[in-house]
Structure 1
Amino acid sequence: MGLLQQRCTGHLLCALTFLEAAGNLALMLYALLWEAGNLVDLPDKRIGFYNFCLWNATAGELQCLEYKHLQVMGISLPGMVLARVCVYACLVFSIFYPVFVANVKCREEREGWKAILIILIIKMIILSGGLGTFLFQTSQWIHLSDFTGGFLALLGTQALLLLQILTHRSVPRL
């Protein structure tokens, strides 16, 4: 009976891992592709990894600023590029992560499960770092109530990554 229970636990862990990975990927795709990386998308401002648009009362429309204007406002170009690279690198990891999990599951490699945990931690660090860098750079123009679906999806991704890490750490045989 113990062997059967251990096999069922392994299959449930694998199924849970794939479900969490699918949710993670769906949230990342929504935030970075569907919302085009915009964390704030309101009628009077649109701020994201590729856009920094503020309302111009004189023109009566959103005016998207170029990097030279952003630098004058105190926003660092290297900081914004680093934030973008980190967040989108997490998306790339999320795309290939299920393939790696399937490979480890098929081969039943104990060391592979440790590598999966390391990948999850790396994803958590780079997503947190990229999002934190972006928010640090743009905090003067964004209020807490301004955040829209893209930001909430990235927060959901962070929560799912933490859940995945806790799932892997809670199983003693890994």
Structure 2
Amino acid sequence: MVSTECAGTRLGLLPQMCTRHLLFRLILLEAAGTIILLCYALLWESGNLVDLPDKRIGFYNFCLWNDTAGKLQCLKHTQLQVMGISLPGFMLARVCVYTCLVFSLFHPIFVAHVNCSEDRGGWKAVLIILIIKMIVLSGGLGMFLFQTSQWIHPSDFTGGFLALLGTQALLLLQILTATVYLNRRKHTYLAQSC
């Protein structure tokens, strides 16, 4: 009875290994998409979530239209504090979002190393890092939006904000893919031990 189960699991081993390789490639593709979206939002768009002719609001800019001067006026830290924006909260939001970019740059290298070393514990670490990146990015974006919600309407958001939303979606997809990959590795390991 045991040998029949083992033979059945060995026959199913090849498709599982192919699925594992496809999932690994999908994880790397999703990681590349995450890097591209983060670089677009935080470097190309300079962290600006709103970039309109009458206002530019982002992690480094807070500029509103000045009717008297007839141009955008960028506010300084003291002026932001008078408006009720907490500078520590603003800085922490910036650090969180840019930390996600740094983690994302090194993530594919770590994933490739874990895949080559065949370490199941390493895949758990990959999953934990993805969850941490999702929490850090969500927290930073949430703090920023909470601080600036009086001056931003939902229709004001431009490409930088949409790229960060896309990054959130890709991070969630990476978490799901890594979870499926980890389960496949577990089943493959059980089949090989049989």
Counterpart among 117, 138, 149 of residue 107 in structure 1: 117
1:3 alignment counterpart: 13
1:71-129 deviations in whole A, cap 9, x for unaligned?
00000000000000000000000000000000001111100110000000000000000
For the aligned residue pairs, the C-alpha RMSD in angstroms reads: 0.8
Residue 170 of structure 1 deviates from its aligned partner by: 2.7
TM-score by length of 1: 0.98
Residue 10 of structure 1 deviates from its aligned partner by: 1.3
1:6-63 deviations in whole A, cap 9, x for unaligned?
2211110110000000000000000000000000000000000000000000000000
What secondary structure sits across from 1:160 in the alignment?
helix
Distance 1:29 1:109 in 2: 30
Residue 3 of structure 1 deviates from its aligned partner by: 2.3
Counterpart among 21, 40, 43 of residue 53 in structure 2: 43
- Letter aligned with residue 173 of structure 1: R
Distance 1:166 1:99 in 2: 19
1:98 alignment counterpart: 108
Distance 1:102 1:166 in 2: 18
2:146 alignment counterpart: 136
- Letter aligned with residue 108 of structure 1: E
**8 Å CA contact retained: 2:100, 2:136:** yes
Distance 2:115 2:178 in 1: 13
Which runs of 5 or more structure 1 residues have no equivalent in the other structure?
none
Distance 1:38 1:56 in 2: 19
Which runs of 5 or more structure 2 residues have no equivalent in the other structure?
1-10, 186-194
1:173 alignment counterpart: 184
Counterpart among 63, 69, 74 of residue 53 in structure 1: 63
Counterpart among 75, 82, 85 of residue 95 in structure 2: 85
- The within-5 A match list for 1:60-79 is 60-79=70-89
Distance 2:108 2:178 in 1: 15
Identity percentage of aligned residues: 76
Distance 1:134 1:6 in 2: 43
Q: Which has the greater radius of gyration?
A: 2
How many residues end up aligned between the 2 structures? 174
What secondary structure sits across from 2:64 in the alignment?
strand
TM-score by length of 2: 0.88
Distance 2:120 2:19 in 1: 15
Matched, 1:163 2:173: yes
What secondary structure sits across from 1:47 in the alignment?
strand
What secondary structure sits across from 1:78 in the alignment?
helix
Counterpart among 12, 19, 24 of residue 22 in structure 2: 12
- Letter aligned with residue 152 of structure 1: L
